[in-house]
Structure 1
């Protein structure tokens, strides 16, 4: 009888523990937004752009999927009221990341990634575009934000033509950044030739490095850059301020960082979101810095090659064109079965990064070029989830 009593008590205890675990897990998943609709992923639906009758808005909806700094999506579209085949792209000064990108260089590249997606989509749907950069002249650098409000990055003119199908168009729907481990296989000669041929005009160059010495050297730059950035509180706070901890926040803001950007998806994502929502202290500055350094070291360890995009000068037009080139590099890499991830912290231009910035330019841009992007590239070991995107109509100026 005593044994039966003990057994019954043990069953009750274990049942209670199991119930508590189930209750706690359910609370975490609910806090993480398990049953919330993912409105922030709607622009990735292949029917999304076609829902808009205005061809200019359609093209903007494709551009919306482009890579962009801090996932800020800093684009404003102004539709020409007198010509239904013209729109203007403006940079949104309210979305600058001025701590990590004080001179808005990365922001200009982000304008270029958008324009390249628009160009690819235009050919696909039978409305190729002509892109004229800074049609009203370049910015007044002394009044940069005001200049962004008044001077367009580009005038985009549509023209009717026969659709030209391209695998680049399908690659638009592949997430632009993959932070996971890559296979250590070297790129083929054909892959290198294809990628390097993308930057052969307008003073832009693309160079692939996969020899042991350069892979080691560039990996060191990437890790040192991450360590420096993680130790600059104002830069880390800027990133922390746009971290979306759960589905509620992602649906509300639809831009910034989230667990998807770290490659987390499925139930694990909801679990992590629930933990951060209920225990926000888990996402402390130190925890975020440690995670950044750890993930960077892991990524660099599993990187077979790097791509570097450089420009002959550092003009605003060159910055925008470097973004167009990076976008084309990304799309082309996807068609070749490759993935990319920018690891450009060493190219950031705040004081703490200055020494490393000068060092990488001394080693890899001795002729006065500006390195605009440093990108790890290789065959991915896993797919990654799509990230938040705003509604395209939020980009269209009223």
Structure 2
């Protein structure tokens, strides 16, 4: 829900009084959750080469910003990476497919960060099956070359707003084709737009799926700093609404609440504004396939950033719960007709840069530091 400053203050019962009482300018400038954003500024600042790589890896894109990773230092040069099941999304990601893709993004960004220092990583995936770590990684100095895509790590964002009307040209699309199928300015893009919008409305009208997102709302600076994951809802306008009792998790749970209706329409508008789509598929759907899909999704995002493009995941159509089954079948019938899996679906276009998103500090995600 996005409101103008005037409308927000008016809702609260008189803009002049509220602004005079709170000191709007002073209030607004103190609403940035600096603690939750600090990991961005600390990236690369650790003495241990493994922690340096991890400090970049934790900036990777991941579903609902759950940041499901944990790390364990082993000896002098090895690292075990785990997926924290406490951060599962049991309704919309019942088989942890999307969260595993997020782990793939994390692992590949860690690899890139190490390679910047000429350090290679010997990685063993799922050495103990599903019950053990996702990966055991041994760092090998002098065994890697820097990856050009790493230059875009600090600028990468998952877009959240509207897209500009500018079309995505053929040259820009070509930059991304190593990582996904790209559809822009075409009938296929129109079909994907309709499908993504339908899937979003299904999620918004499925009580359990919607509530899963509502439960992950972090409202205002204090909550975001205290729990820097999930869906951050910050800024002075939203905090004023929350303080006035006009925005809350209870209100967000109500499909008839004006704020909820506005939020649903905002996402529909974002989907409608997107001139392009990216589709990633894999022949199989093993955990290894999902990790590989995550690496490709990360690289797609970085390549798009380098080309001045914005990407937004809209993977509702790929979620594996009963209410989504028809849309899931529809997209797979077109993009994975021979039994493969559509791993990621995203919007693509030009847009202003999204702000940095909150992150847990590296110390909070370590098992033995």
- Whether the TM-score (by the shorter chain) exceeds 0.5 is yes
Aligned pairs (5 A) from 1:26-45: 26=23, 34=30, 38-45=34-41
The alpha-carbon distance between structure 1 residues 36 and 297, as it changes in their structure 2 partners (threshold 3 A), is closer
Q: Which residue of 1 aligns with 2:11?
A: none
Does 1:195 pair with 2:176?
yes
Residue number in structure 2 paired with 1:10: none
Structure 1 SS opposite 2:89 = coil
Mapped to 2, the partners of 1:345 and 1:108 lie a distance apart of: 16
Instruction: Please tell me whether the aligned partners of residues 33 and 247 of structure 1 are also in contact (alpha carbons under 8 angstroms).
Output: no
Q: Which sections of structure 2, spanning at least 5 residues, go unmatched?
A: 1-13
2:190 to 216, 235, 258: 216
CA distance in 1, matches of 2:232, 2:338: 39
Counterpart in the other structure of 1:21: 18
Answer yes or no: is the 8 Å Cα contact 1:129–1:158 preserved in 2.
yes
* Structure 2 residue 255 is the aligned partner of structure 1 residue 284: no
| 1:35, distance to aligned residue in structure 2 (A) | 5.7
In the TM superposition, what is the alpha-carbon distance from 1:72 to its structure 2 partner? 0.8
Contact 2:157/2:354 (<8 A) preserved: no
Note if 1:346 corresponds to 2:346. no
> Are the equivalent residues in 2 in contact too, given 1:28–1:275 (CA < 8 A)?
no
Determine the C-alpha separation between the residues in 2 that align with 1:280 and 1:186.
38
Distance 1:314 1:162, change over 3 A: closer
SS at 2:60 equivalent: coil
What residue in structure 2 maps to residue 67 of structure 1? 61
What is the DSSP-based 3-state SS (H/G/I as helix, E as strand, rest coil) of the residue aligned with 2:44? helix
Task: Label 1:19 to 1:212 Cα distance change in 2 as closer, same or farther (>3 A).
Answer: closer
- Relative to the length of structure 2, the TM-score reads 0.88
Q: What does residue range 368-383 of structure 1 map to in structure 2 within 5 Å? A: 368-380=339-351, 382-383=352-353
Q: 1:37 to 1:298 in 2, by over 3 A?
A: closer
Q: How far off is 1:73 after superposition?
A: 0.3
- Pick from 274, 279, 303: which aligns with 1:332? 303
User: How far has the Cα of 1:184 moved from its partner?
Assistant: 3.6
The answer for the alignment partner of 2:205 in structure 1 is 231
Classify the secondary structure of the residue corresponding to 2:298.
helix
Shift of 1:52: 1.9
Distance 1:35 1:377 in 2: 30
Q: Whole-Å Cα distance in 1 between the matches of residues 47 and 87 of structure 2?
A: 28
Question: Cα distance, 1:167 vs. partner?
Answer: 4.5
Higher mean C-alpha displacement, 345-354 vs 278-287:
278-287
Q: What is the CA-CA distance between 1:273 and the residue it aligns to?
A: 1.9
* Residue 273 (str. 1) matches residue 226 (str. 2): no
- CA–CA separation in structure 2 for the residues paired with 1:340 and 1:70: 15
Go from structure 1 to structure 2 and tell me whether the alpha carbon gap of 1:19 and 1:310 turns closer, same or farther (over 3 Å shift).
Answer: closer
Pick the aligned partner of 1:295 from 248, 263, 266.
Answer: 266
Q: Summarize the alignment of residues 138-149 of structure 1 with structure 2, pairs less than 5 Å apart.
A: 138-139=129-130, 147=131
> In 2, Cα distance between the equivalents of 1:290 and 1:170?
39
Indicate which of 362, 376, 381 corresponds to 2:333: 362
Residues matched between the structures, number: 350
Q: Aligned with 1:375: secondary structure? A: strand
Counterparts of 2:217 and 2:26, CA distance in 1: 18
Structure ID, larger Rg: 1
**Structure 1 CA distance for aligned equivalents of residues 227 and 307 of structure 2:** 33
Query: Compared with structure 1, are the counterparts of its residues 183 and 27 closer, same or farther at alpha carbon in structure 2 (3 Å cutoff)?
Result: closer
What CA distance in whole angstroms lies between the structure 2 residues aligned with 1:364 and 1:165? 33
Match of 1:152 among 118, 133, 139: 133
Unmatched runs of 5 consecutive residues or more in structure 1: 1-16, 140-146, 199-205, 261-268
TM-score (norm 1): 0.82
Q: Counterparts of 1:379 and 1:281 in 2: how far apart (Å)?
A: 31
